[in-house]
Amino acid sequence: MMKSFIPVIVLGAVGCALSAYAYLSNDTGVAGTPGALLALIGAAAVTVGSVIAALTALGRPLFFLLAFLIALAAVLTALAAFFLMQYGLTVVMALAFVGLLVAVLLPAPQRRLI
């Protein structure tokens, strides 16, 4: 397992919780909207992608492709959250993006612990 992905997984999970709240709760201004659902899917994609990256021994090209897709999901979800005025989710997704960069850019021996 790549422990360096754990912060990204945790942030993704927090993002899922925040976006689920935004989608379901009446006091967010975006309950039940397609935009909030999109943010929930985006946060879920970050979480699931990070779990796959952490647990699966991928070849280099596939690993970087997956990392790119997770980064894209994090950035787009942060952007969506900004326009949904869900600023907590924006911050969490921005942190997830930073965490992802750290996880990917760390030297390989430290990345591959298993």
Partner 1 sequence: MTSALRPLIVAMCFAAPAGADQLRWDTFNGNLANTKFADVDTFTPANVAELERVWEVHTGDVSDGSGDLPETVWSATPIYANETLYLGTPFYRILALDPATGAERWSYDSKSALEALTQPALKNRGVAYWESGQTGPCEKRVYLGTMDAELHAVDADTGELCADFAQGGVLNVNQWNTVNDKFPFSLLQPPTVVGDTLMLGWAGNDWAYSVAPPGNLMAIDARTGTLNWDLSFIPDALIPVTGTANIWTSMSADPELGLVYVPVSSPSPNYWGGNRTDPIPLATSVTAVDVETGEVRWSQQIVRHDIWDYDTPSAATLVDIERDGQTIPALVQTTKMGFIFVLNRETGEPIFPIEDRPVPASDAEGEVAAPTQPFVLTPPPTNDPFKMPAVWWLADALSFGQCSREREQYRYEGIYTPPSVQGTFLFPGTAGANNWGGAAVDPRTGILYLNSMRVVQIIRLIPREEYEQIDGGSGNEAGFYPQEGAPYGIELREWRNDLGLPCWEPPYGTFSAYDLSTGERLYEVPFGLSQQWGFYGLSDWGSPTLGGPVVTAGGIVFIGASMDARVRALDAATGAELWSDLVEAPSVAIPAVYTHQGVDYVVFVAGGNSILKPQVSDQVVAYRLGQP
Query: Could you say which DSSP state residue 34 is in?
Result: H
Closest distance between partner 1 and the C-beta of residue 20, in Å? 14
Judged by beta carbon, residue 33 or residue 58, the one nearer partner 1 is 33
- DSSP notation for 80-111: HHHHTT-HHHHHHHHHHHHHHHHHHHS-HHHH
Question: Which residue's CB is nearer to partner 1, number 30 or number 92?
Answer: 30
Interface positions with partner 1 (CB under 8 A) = 26-30, 33-36, 38, 80, 83-85
| CA atoms of 41 and 100, how far apart (whole Å) | 18
To partner 1, the closest distance from the beta carbon of 25 in angstroms equals: 11
Q: Nearest approach, Cβ of 42 to partner 1 (angstroms)? A: 13
What's the closest the beta carbon of residue 73 comes to partner 1, in angstroms? 17
Closer to partner 1 by CB, 28 or 47: give it: 28
Nearest-angstrom CA–CA distance, 60 and 8: 19
Q: What is the amino acid identity at position 4?
A: S
**Residue whose CB is less far from partner 1, 46 or 80:** 80
**Does residue 77 contact residue 42 with C-beta atoms inside 8 Å?**
yes
